[in-house]
Structure 1
Amino acid sequence: MNRRWLAAAICVGTLLGVSGTASAHVKYVVDGPTDVVNAISFLLEVLSDPLNAALVGGGAVAVVVAVLGYLWVRPFARDRAVLRRTLADYDDLVPWMLRLSVGLPLVGAGFAGYFFSPVVHVEGRLLQVAVGFLLLFGLATRVVAVVGLLAYLGGLFADPALLLASEYVGGFLAIALLGGGRPSADQMLQQVADAEGTAYGRIDPIHSVASWLNRVTTPYERYAPTLVRLALGFNFFYLGFVEKMVAPGQALAVVEKYDLTGVVPVDPGLWVVGAGLTEMAVGFALFVGLFTRATATVAFLMLTLTLFGLPDDPVLAHVTLFGMVSMLFITGAGPFAVDGWLRERRTGDLSRTETNGETYSGRTTNERV
């Protein structure tokens, strides 16, 4: 028994680190009927094993201690300040990043014959392909984003399984706010239309409308990270809760199919519970905006592990998630986030703290203003 507990103590960190491997969209890699396993009974059965309970409890305690320790010490203040200033230089590329991360999967989904999510199949492909290509070009970007959002919401009304791809809501809304950015066809045409004496400027039918849209949306661009954060947070929490905790049968099938217990030799049920709780924790942290950049980094690593750990998990279905978590790493949480509240509480102290001769004032995340 002592050797068993020693092995458990050694592998607990590894389990937490690779639990994202099982955090895929389960229905993308395992077929089968809806699971009938009682979720509460399953969870109680897994945690009734002292080793499993110790690993789950120990992991939770370790996370809480790490968070409290960071809040108490606040290490690397200078490094974080420089990182924020560096990331601010990428701010103008965020719309391009969003267009690529939403447009590419839509084009791929259209040619593959599914509607946003690989579990929802359709015959018609033209709409998704058209929306995807227009987003990639950055042509009529805001209008196209609204069309894409309406198409998704209509599909969701017809088939609730599209909740698996709920991140598209945040992506479309953010693109509708930010527009095409640069480089984009919209930006290039706008520059030509604005230039004095151009032939295109005399015949451009939408120049005034585009300028009006830019003026109307500019005050609200700072909320784009918030919309993306809420959509991603909901998506991660939903997948962890519904696909792992509520319906563990198919998740157990994933563990068996890919022999994940050979990676970390623990109970298969612990794999499912660990993946579900990790995904839910990441989703909750993103939703409330707690340590957003760090959480986005964890989410990125989880998605990467999924692609390497589950070789037949469709890559295109995760491109949107990759792009959106990358955006949050650049922008930070945006308004209405716990990060902002924590930062405000320390602004007075940080503004008086000298670091290498320079005053660090607790600068806010580089929101678009």
Structure 2
Amino acid sequence: MVRNRVSALVGAVLLLAMVPGRALAHVRYVSPGSGGEKILELLAAVVTDPLAIALLGGGGLSALTAAVFYLRIRPFRADFAVLRATLRSYDDLLPWLARLAVGLPLVGAGFTGYLYSPVATAEYLGLPLAAVRLFGIGIGFLIVFGLATRVAALAGLAGYVFGLLLDPALLLALEFPAGLTAILLLGGGRPSADHVFSRLADADGTFYREIDPIRETLHPIGDRLADATHLVPMVVRVGLGASFLYLGVVQKLFTPGQALAVVAKYDLTSIVPVSPELWVVGAALTETAIGVALALGLFTRACCGISIFMFVTTLLGLPDDPVMAHVSLFGLVSVLVITGGGAYSLDRRLAERFGTESRFGERSEVAGTALGD
């Protein structure tokens, strides 16, 4: 009997730690409801509930225990070493992955008529619908095909800043400036139209080499940007971390009325039978913790795995949540799965202490062995 109760408690803790996160994200365009609830009322409802305190405390303690256990015991060392090295061997595909992660949702946003985030519709921003569509489709297709990639990424960043000035709610899409900056550093990579044209421009005797209008002017700039590609993991994880923090702190804790409306709309308490207030606080704390961990580069790949699980539960649990709005998140999290925490991360410090991780961009001996080189 006691064992069954303990199992049920552990199961509830895990669900509260993982399920709510993205299930309550982007609440402005999922539910228009915004009751008059205040943050103090929300927190008071949770701290006065012994079950809520036990679940939240148990979730935090479980995460801390798992981290300490991994660092001290280091299970499956050889397996993780081969896994990390194999993932790092996909470095050459990062430009393509980043382009798809940013370009495809931009195209989708253009066809739908919004700027970066579904909250920023052309009508809401007071912009011509045709202009918003042309911008999203044009920049998106250039990035997807890898044509004038860095120029398109720079234009995309300018468009984001312009949209943010019109509507601060575009902070919901903080992953886009991170992704566009990563593309600016990485360039088109391969496969891309830029790669094809650069080969034509570099080859002796080609007609295109004689008429290439940009080789002498833009290539040196691209080379300088390429020297900073080691910063890509940091740029992506800080952008994703900031996005999670905004969703957890601003959208949940500071505006709990909308989050509670989402819980009611989708009857989320029938999935995990706890109070709506605990759902919202659990989601806020989960997203905040993941955001901080990603920004600091702490257990980066583990946080990415949890994030992907949360994204999937959102798509399955909220049938009217725009699928295209999540493509950028899936793609950029996948970038971090390949790179790990990268430069200026706590993971790097831990790796140097335990000697388990090589630097982003290096092809280790383990990777070569795993791939049969």
Fold conserved between structures, TM > 0.5: yes
Give distance in 2, aligned partners of 1:232 and 1:67: 21
Q: Does structure 1 residue 208 correspond to structure 2 residue 216?
A: yes
The 5 A counterparts of 1:67-86 are: 67-86=67-86
Residue 366 of structure 1 aligns with which residue? 360
Residue 102 of structure 1 aligns with which residue? 102
Q: Contact 2:88 / 2:362 at 8 angstroms: preserved in 1?
A: no
Give distance in 1, aligned partners of 2:222 and 2:257: 49
Give distance in 1, aligned partners of 2:320 and 2:304: 24
Give distance in 2, aligned partners of 1:210 and 1:184: 16
- Out of 274, 279, 292, the position equivalent to 2:287 is 279
SS of the equivalent of 1:118 reads coil
SS of the equivalent of 2:191 reads coil
Structure 2, unmatched stretches of 5+, are: 123-128, 364-373
Structure 1, unmatched stretches of 5+, are: 348-361
Q: Contact 2:200 / 2:209 at 8 angstroms: preserved in 1?
A: yes
Q: Contact 1:23 / 1:302 at 8 angstroms: preserved in 2?
A: no
Q: Match for 1:155: what amino acid?
A: G
Deviation at 1:20, TM superposition (A): 3.1
Distance verdict in 2 for CA 1:245–1:187, change over 3 Å: same
The 5 A counterparts of 1:106-255 are: 106-122=106-122, 123=129, 124=131, 125-255=133-263
Q: Contact 1:16 / 1:59 at 8 angstroms: preserved in 2?
A: yes
Deviation at 1:249, TM superposition (A): 1.2
SS of the equivalent of 2:314 reads helix
Give distance in 2, aligned partners of 1:10 and 1:82: 31
Q: Match for 2:74: what amino acid?
A: R
Deviation at 1:253, TM superposition (A): 1.1
Q: Contact 2:145 / 2:192 at 8 angstroms: preserved in 1?
A: yes
Alignment deviations for residues 280-299 of structure 1 (CA, whole Å, 9 cap, x no partner): 11111000000111111111
Q: Which has the higher contact order (CA 8 A, sep 6+)?
A: 2
- Percent pairwise identity: 52
Give distance in 1, aligned partners of 2:329 and 2:209: 38
Q: Does structure 1 residue 291 correspond to structure 2 residue 299?
A: yes
Q: Match for 1:366: what amino acid?
A: F
Distance verdict in 2 for CA 1:4–1:343, change over 3 Å: closer
Give distance in 1, aligned partners of 2:22 and 2:102: 23
Q: Match for 1:11: what amino acid?
A: A
Give distance in 2, aligned partners of 1:171 and 1:108: 16
Q: Contact 1:23 / 1:279 at 8 angstroms: preserved in 2?
A: no
Q: Does structure 1 residue 14 correspond to structure 2 residue 15?
A: yes
Deviation at 1:173, TM superposition (A): 0.6
Residue 370 of structure 2 aligns with which residue? none
Residue 63 of structure 2 aligns with which residue? 63
Alignment deviations for residues 322-346 of structure 1 (CA, whole Å, 9 cap, x no partner): 1000000001111111111112223
Q: Does structure 1 residue 32 correspond to structure 2 residue 45?
A: no
Cα root mean square deviation, aligned: 1.9
Give distance in 2, aligned partners of 1:96 and 1:233: 22
Q: Contact 2:16 / 2:283 at 8 angstroms: preserved in 1?
A: no
Q: Match for 1:120: what amino acid?
A: A
SS of the equivalent of 2:338 reads helix
Distance verdict in 2 for CA 1:109–1:85, change over 3 Å: same
Q: Match for 2:79: what amino acid?
A: D
Give distance in 2, aligned partners of 1:49 and 1:199: 75
Give distance in 1, aligned partners of 2:308 and 2:118: 21
Residue 273 of structure 2 aligns with which residue? 265
Q: Which moved more, 1:179-188 or 1:238-247?
A: 238-247
Give distance in 1, aligned partners of 2:249 and 2:202: 51
Give distance in 2, aligned partners of 1:261 and 1:3: 24
SS of the equivalent of 1:120 reads coil
Deviation at 1:47, TM superposition (A): 2.1
Alignment deviations for residues 290-324 of structure 1 (CA, whole Å, 9 cap, x no partner): 01111111111111111111111001111111100
Q: Which moved more, 1:21-30 or 1:82-91?
A: 21-30
Q: Which moved more, 1:40-49 or 1:293-302?
A: 40-49
Q: Contact 1:24 / 1:303 at 8 angstroms: preserved in 2?
A: no
How does the TM-score come out when normalised to structure 2? Answer: 0.90
Give distance in 2, aligned partners of 1:48 and 1:154: 44
Q: Match for 2:21: what amino acid?
A: G
Alignment deviations for residues 125-177 of structure 1 (CA, whole Å, 9 cap, x no partner): 21121110100110110111011101101111121111011111111111000
SS of the equivalent of 1:117 reads coil
Give distance in 1, aligned partners of 2:250 and 2:298: 22
Q: Contact 1:105 / 1:319 at 8 angstroms: preserved in 2?
A: yes
